[in-house]
Amino acid sequence: MVLNVFLSKLYIGNDMHFVKISNSIGFIACTLLGTSSILFFAKVLEYSKWPRFVLTYFGRNSLVVMVTHLEYGVMAGALTMALKVSNNATVIKLLAFFLAVFVEYIICLTVNKSTLRKIFRQ
């Protein structure tokens, strides 16, 4: 995972969110290392109880998270709030992440308790 972070800094300009590939070799290297890192991390988490519960919860609600975190401005709001608190880039990223996770948790709770959800469960 550390090597993946290093390569992403080395091959800056590759961005799948905006479909921008500046270096094909770097893109492929970062993609393969990132995928293998996530698979390794998932295997490690398999033996831990608390992260497994959190990941299972967000996995069941992944469509809600996917739709709301960019389209409804959850990430933008979290970043805006984090920018008001600190000037340190690392603190801003961590704070924005935890704020976004908290807001997504509230949104998932709301969606799961809605009457529409109860209708489709029958």
pLDDT at 95: 93
pLDDT at 99: 93
pLDDT at 17: 65
Gyration radius of the chain's alpha carbons: 17
Nearest by Cα to 96 from 77, 110, 115: 77
Q: What number of H helices and E strands is found in the chain?
A: 7, 0
Is residue 23's pLDDT more than 80? no
Tens-digit pLDDT profile for residues 68-114: 877 788 888 888 999 999 888 888 889 999 999 999 999 888 888 87
Please provide residue 18's backbone torsions phi and psi, each rounded to the nearest 5 degrees: -105, 10
**pTM higher than 0.85, yes or no?**
no
Q: Is 88 exposed, middle or buried (0-12, 13-18, 19+ CB in 10 A)?
A: exposed
Answer yes or no: are the C-beta atoms of 48 and 41 closer than 8 Å.
no
